[in-house]
Chains A and B, each alone.
Chain A
């Protein structure tokens, strides 16, 4: 035979870590397809279609804006409340949506995974990437509000891909852990939802950080999401670099979480497919 043949040998199954990324590369066509499907299909049977991607964060923001800015009279020094709020919502949404959909990827695609050979991580990663794409689209309404309120868009906005990619890594890492657990226990996804809700309250999305009493401050700051948010806000509208430790937390937690998630996922993969 002259052409190189693809050989599948079950004895050489899965050298963890490397094989996951090799599979993603090999199935990159499918990955791209799944991401676009995710983005367009969600609103396929609705009148507004993809416009929902833009409207969704705006609607959430409007409600919270009325409650916290108009009713509770929260104020953030130096920035319109709407900008502060929306930037927080974007980060929290990416994390929550990404972890939820990555976590459900195995269970939701069980029908395919148990009939056709597709590396399961392709589904998991595509869900995370779709959440990140949603985030990128949602930057448009954020910038629009910044322009309208006179904040403007600083040049540092060009650096947003950095926190975005790190948050994506962190999100997929957490999501992969959830995905592996969700195959064993079906209530894991519900528990995850509760957990995500709690985490989102611990991050200053709608309240100023100055409201937190000194002794509780570490609880807020130890949360990696706090650092992502801080870096993102610095780039998106403040036009400054967040303190160095925020960058350190962001990069270390992002890389570590992704590696941990991929490792656990690829270790347990063999058992997972049988359980589906």
Chain B
């Protein structure tokens, strides 16, 4: 029995931005003198535990503001846990917001290298891969164009192509499969499928319930930062549907 690739134990993520957060140092100084500095904690996620094994697809559903995105960020190690523990064995390809880190002034080619470096890949390696990435994203003719003139769909294609270029051990997907036109959706699904077949673990957040039912091996329904139900995706999805009505 192999070890789980992702272990989330009693995870809690708290934000401290309440109405009492002083925006400026001046305000803070004044409040400190008046002794009005208080920090209120807002728990975006609390008491969440689950494991994801190699090759498993773990789906997460829930209404807006349920803490799904915060959970994804904790798995992608963007947010440190406020309590509990997150262990991830292997490389993570975060697809939380495609192309976060693109620079509008740089060309598509330069952005591939930059975005790859942000994901921790070596620039030399990225330069070698540039052609293939552009070819997959159908953007070869725009290689030298600054991406500020790109359309949203083009950006999404480029971001997806870079993020999935190297085979990761864990893929964290937050609602990005719904961007782009029909052709791109088909293409990106095919690529995800291919990654799944090769044993990548996936944590998938989506409002598309059919997608979760169809692809996930297990699912979790979250509400107000806490897990309401974990189990078979069909059961979880139908319970969530029932509740949403």
Chains A and B belong together in one complex: yes
Contacts of A30 in B (CB 8 A): 117-118, 120, 123
Interface hit among B56-64, B86-94, B180-188, B203-211:
B86-94
Residue B1, interface by CB 8 Å = no
Question: Once the chains bind, are B100 and A115 in contact (CB under 8 Å)?
Answer: yes
Q: Which residues of A contact B97 (CB under 8 A)?
A: 115
Docked-complex contact B89 and A45, CB < 8 angstroms: no
- Is the Cβ of A111 less than 8 Å from the Cβ of B100? yes
* Interchain CB contact under 8 A, A274 and B86: no
Given A30-B118, A33-B117, A274-B15; A115-B89 close (CB under 8 Å): no
Contact A5:B78 (CB < 8 A) given known A29-B117, A37-B106: no
Q: How far is the CA of A37 from the CA of B107 in the complex (A)?
A: 12
Chain A residues with Cβ under 8 A from B88's Cβ? Answer: 7-8
CB pair B89–A114 under 8 Å, yes or no, is: no
A214 at the interface (CB under 8 A from B): no
**B244 CB, nearest partner CB in chain A, Å:** 28
Whether A187 touches B80, Cβ cut-off 8 Å, given contacts A10-B86, A33-B114, A115-B101, is: no
Q: A41-B105, A185-B23 are in contact. Are A273 and B79 (CB under 8 A)?
A: yes
Residues of A within 8 A of B77 (CB): 8, 10, 117
Bound CA span A78–B90, Å: 64
- Kindly state whether residue B136 has any CB partner on chain A within 8 Å: no
CB pair A7–B89 under 8 Å, yes or no, is: yes
Number of B residues, CB within 8 Å of A: 49
Contact of B89 among A5, A13, A116 (CB under 8 A): A5
Q: How far is the CB of B25 from chain A (nearest CB, A)?
A: 4
Binary CB contact string for chain A from 98 to 136 against chain B (1 if under 8 A, 0 otherwise): 000000000000011111111000000000000000000
**Chain B residues with Cβ under 8 A from A270's Cβ?**
80
- Say how far A109's CB is from chain B's closest CB, in angstroms: 8
**Total count of chain A residues near the partner, CB < 8 A:** 38
Asked if residues B25 and A191 are in contact (CB atoms below 8 Å), the reply is: yes
A interface majority secondary structure: helix
Cβ contact within 8 Å between B122 and A29: yes
| A155 interface residue per 8 A CB criterion | no
Q: A5-B169, A275-B16, A275-B17 are in contact. Are A118 and B85 (CB under 8 A)?
A: no
Expressed in whole angstroms, the minimum distance between the Cβ of A195 and any Cβ of chain B is 12
Q: Give the most central of A116, A181, A188: most B CB within 10 Å.
A: A116
A185 touches B28 (CB 8 A): yes
Knowing A30-B118, A185-B24, A274-B15, the reply to whether A37 touches B90 (Cβ < 8 A) is no
A26 to B101, CA, bound (A): 18
| Given A116-B119, A187-B24: A273 and B78 interface contact (C-beta under 8 Å) | yes
Residue of B nearest to A112 (CB): B101
Q: Is B164 an interface residue (CB 8 A)?
A: no
- B105's partner among A44, A116, A188 (CB-CB below 8 A) is A44
Instruction: Give A275 to B118 CA distance when docked, in angstroms.
Output: 21
Give A99 to B92 CA distance when docked, in angstroms. 33
The residue from B86, B89, B113 contacting A33, defined by CB atoms under 8 A apart: B113
Decide yes or no whether B67 CB sits under 8 A from chain A: no
Contact partners of B81 in chain A: CB under 8 A: 10
Report yes or no: A27 in contact with B120, Cβ–Cβ below 8 A: yes
A29 to B122, CA, bound (A): 6
Q: In the bound complex, do residue B123 and residue A273 qualify as a contact, i.e. CB atoms below 8 Å apart?
A: no
Given the complex, which residues of B lie within 8 Å of A33, measured CB to CB? 113-114, 117, 123
Q: 12 pairs across A/B with beta carbons < 8 Å?
A: A5-B89, A6-B89, A7-B88, A7-B90, A9-B86, A10-B84, A10-B86, A115-B78, A115-B97, A185-B25, A185-B28, A187-B23
- Contacts A6-B89, A29-B124, A273-B80 aside, 9 further interface pairs with beta carbons under 8 A come to A5-B89, A30-B117, A33-B123, A37-B114, A45-B105, A112-B101, A115-B101, A118-B101, A185-B25
Q: Which 6 A-B pairs have the closest CB atoms?
A: A115-B100, A30-B117, A185-B25, A187-B24, A112-B101, A10-B86
Binding site for B on A (CB under 8 A): 5-11, 13, 26-27, 29-30, 32-33, 37, 41, 44-45, 111-118, 181, 184-188, 191, 270-271, 273-275
